[in-house]
Amino acid sequence: MESVWVHLITVNADAEMSVTGLLLKASLVVQFVLLALFFMSILCWWVIGYKAISLKRARQGSRKFLEEFWQAESLDEIWKKYRVNRGGDKAVNEVHTAPTVMVFKAGQLELEKLRGAGSSSHSMRDTISTSLGGTENIERALRRTRNAQTLELESWTSFLATTASAAPFVGLFGTVWGIMESFLNIAREGNATLTTVAPGIAEALIATAIGLVAAIPAVIAYNWLAGQIRALEADMDNFSNDYLNFVKRHYEDQV
């Protein structure tokens, strides 16, 4: 019995058992799996960084706009400031392209059209034409822009969800292939020594580990980004409702 344990524990001194050596000597299938997982992981980290920065700017821009909106004395005052993007100043332009600002611009553009139509048939300009749809048109414009901004906020996050769900299975495929190679080596060598089995098992474990390295940050980042997007969606929804109520109180035709 002791001789069996000694034989299993003893490995050739010439055998290369480092991670780098195993990767270089791995089968083409395992190497392809590891390369795919590596690129998935790199792209995931790029998406995480890109979305974290863009969502932070969106939150800051929306917060600044909402503060200015509620402090403004009239819609015309805030509209004069935000109707044109000022691309010369990066910080200012980030505020002008924030999701809530884009919703406001869409609603205000529709309001201006209706107010213009209303002014031709009424003595007071602060009315809107009900014959052209009234506040329903404004509500549709707000909803359409809100949906478009949500899609933009969610861009690339689907890749994180895909990586989080697929990477462990890709790693599992590499694991299964590595174990299969180990059994084939046993059949070719005719014995089950550690030298025969270890390389294939090690390849399998490396594939599993890299699959988890790609999947774990992806699922954590996806859940965090989804929470940030939901907060921005709530801001857009709340602003849309408040803006529409304001328009109905101040501009809708009294018929």
Chunked mean pLDDT (size 10), the chain, 255 residues: 42 52 71 90 96 95 93 86 65 80 93 68 49 76 95 95 95 87 77 70 84 95 97 96 87 52
Q: What is the pLDDT of residue 171?
A: 92
Q: Which helix (H) or strand (E) holds 62?
A: helix 28-71
What residues does 128 pair with on adjacent strands?
Answer: 252
Q: Are 83 and 111 in contact (CB under 8 A)?
A: no
pLDDT of residue 220: 97
Residue showing tokens 């700017």 = 57
Residue 24: what pLDDT? 65
Residues 185, 198: contact at Cβ < 8 Å? no
At 71, list the tokens: 């402090």
Q: What are phi and psi of 253, to 5 degrees?
A: -60, 140
User: For the chain, what are the domain ranges?
Assistant: 27-250
Q: How far is CA 240 from CA 6, 82, 149, 203, 232, in A?
A: 75, 16, 13, 55, 12
